[in-house]
Chain A
């Protein structure tokens, strides 16, 4: 079994970076090593009982001794997380989950990200050369700042629902354009974001005979496969998003 940790990490930095995301950096040597993009951390936000359960967050970036996560404030847990400041301790479990496929042969890698699916795919695109990173958001103000995308080894294309930058409409529109311009048999898609987006991506992939994988996030309690709270329906039966996933191949997922 791969080595997993539960470490007391110390917050080094925690700030809002735009309309949508906060970035938190913490120090921990063991948690910063041997990570696969798409793996996640399970964070105990407070010592007490509010919030009670841990919250899962993808690895966004690692450097020796340091880990970065990128998060959206959606509810009580992330609201409390946003109040952490330098020096605060956090109990962090990780690395958990399987992560994305990194070897995809000669195929071109197309990453399709939305919302909280952006961090793991930026992580993938920084470490493994990809051809496209497609990001969908509501408007320009929500797109990850350029500074955070500098190290991405891929052509970044954005779609905004209001057309304030890039393609106007959903990210799936950009995906269809890429598919038209490329030899679709040579593509491999990896996606993470809202379920509705991932389902639309999978439908397009199926129509064009393109293989790929999706990081299928479910709410989690244990994060290690013990509670059966995070099940995903697959063609080979129910699987645990936390322990058997969160990444599943398109061909495995039941549409």
Chain B
């Protein structure tokens, strides 16, 4: 029995819901030999900024319980390099592409959107990163003023017909309120969650184990938080949702589908299991076959709250 994994997001048709989270999959063929790129439902790129960014000094990463902290700081070669070097690569690859963008002003967001709009034969959607914890200007602190978020989304919407996902995290404030506002300003969907800010101290040096005091926490440690927001956003607004946060195996993937995720973005897990995306894809298929599920549409958003009637503390 073949299982229908096709996933439709407005006018975008993907062969399956498995993708990779921004910044966790390199910029071209880093996982060649481990991953059959053509099997991915889509690829989400590392966040692109207008100008090149060197990122933060070392050390940028450390392990914490069931996850890691990172302070990469949006290192990327900038818009011009991406257009010149990567667009031809992705055009040839032929896998649906979601480009992650971040700006330091509405003007920059607009410029990024306008530029990628010219490549609609290669780029299928934009993920507007509003929640990077590791940079000052354009990062999560900067975006805490909701007007900046809304101006960014408006600027992007004005410049492109591409699908727009706003990438949010609870670090910005009330996710549901912000989601409501960005959707009203033209975003098509929501991507939740970006990393949460965390801290880890080297007890000998009495200082941070990474270059900044705080870094972005990712991995299984944040999965319950991600799952909650995916569920809430889907339930509240019914819009397309890209899920990221600790998706590590097919069980996690099915959980996120039940909560209502449209796309499953595998992040930190790629570092631990280079074939994570492929294994997840296989696992979802096997699960569906076993459960006699013909299409993942049958699972997506199928969460049922427990019936609480008559259930007190006594057993």
Contacts and interface: CB of A to CB of B under 8 A. Distances in A.
Interface size bracket, B side: 35 or more
Nearest to B54: A238
Counting chain A CB atoms within 10 Å of each CB, the highest count among B30, B66, B270 belongs to B30
A54 B273 CA distance: 9
Contacts of B33: 1, 3-5
Contacts, number: 95
Interface stretch (A66-74, A169-177, A185-193, A220-228): A220-228
Contact of A54 (B59, B220, B272): B272
A109 interface: no
B25 A226 contact: yes
B114 interface: no
In this complex, the member of A5, A6, A219 whose beta carbon has the largest number of chain B beta carbons within 10 angstroms is A219
Given A44-B272, A52-B67, A224 B59 contact: no
A53 to B, nearest CB: 5
A113 to B, nearest CB: 23
Interface string B265-299: 00010111111000000000000000000000000
Instruction: Specify which of A51, A54, A91, A227 lies most central, judged by the most chain B CB atoms within 10 Å of its CB.
Output: A227
Interface in A197-255: 218-231, 238, 243
Contacts of B271: 53-54, 221-223, 226-227
A52 B270 contact: no
A11 B256 CA distance: 36
Nearest to B274: A6
B313 interface: no
B75 A227 contact: no
Given A3-B33, A52-B272, A218-B58, A226 B63 contact: no
B187 interface: no
Nearest to A221: B271
B219 A227 contact: no
A225 B30 contact: yes
A246 to B, nearest CB: 14
A24 B6 CA distance: 45
Nearest to B60: A229
Given A49-B66, A52-B219, A226 B272 contact: no
B72 A229 contact: yes
B32 interface: yes
B251 to A, nearest CB: 14
B94 interface: no
A6 B272 CA distance: 11
B92 to A, nearest CB: 15
A218 B66 CA distance: 21
Given A4-B33, A6-B34, A54-B272, A227 B61 contact: yes
Interface string B6-47: 000000000000000001111001111110000000000010
Nearest to A220: B61
Contact of A49 (B25, B34, B75, B220): B220
A93 interface: yes
Contact of B30 (A49, A226, A231): A226
B178 to A, nearest CB: 27
A50 B274 CA distance: 18
B61 A224 contact: no
Contacts of A228: 23, 46, 55, 60, 72, 75
Interface string B57-93: 0111111011110101001000000000000000000
Given A53-B63, A53-B272, 12 more contacts: A5-B33, A6-B34, A49-B219, A52-B219, A53-B271, A220-B61, A222-B24, A226-B25, A228-B23, A228-B75, A229-B61, A231-B58
Interface of A: 1, 3-6, 44, 49-54, 77, 91, 93, 218-231, 238, 243
30 contacts: A1-B29, A6-B273, A6-B275, A49-B65, A49-B66, A50-B66, A52-B68, A52-B219, A53-B63, A53-B68, A53-B271, A54-B271, A77-B63, A91-B273, A93-B274, A220-B61, A221-B68, A221-B271, A222-B26, A222-B270, A224-B34, A226-B25, A227-B24, A227-B61, A227-B72, A228-B75, A229-B70, A231-B55, A231-B58, A238-B55
**Closest 9 CB pairs between A and B?**
A226-B26, A229-B61, A222-B271, A49-B66, A226-B30, A221-B271, A225-B30, A4-B33, A224-B30
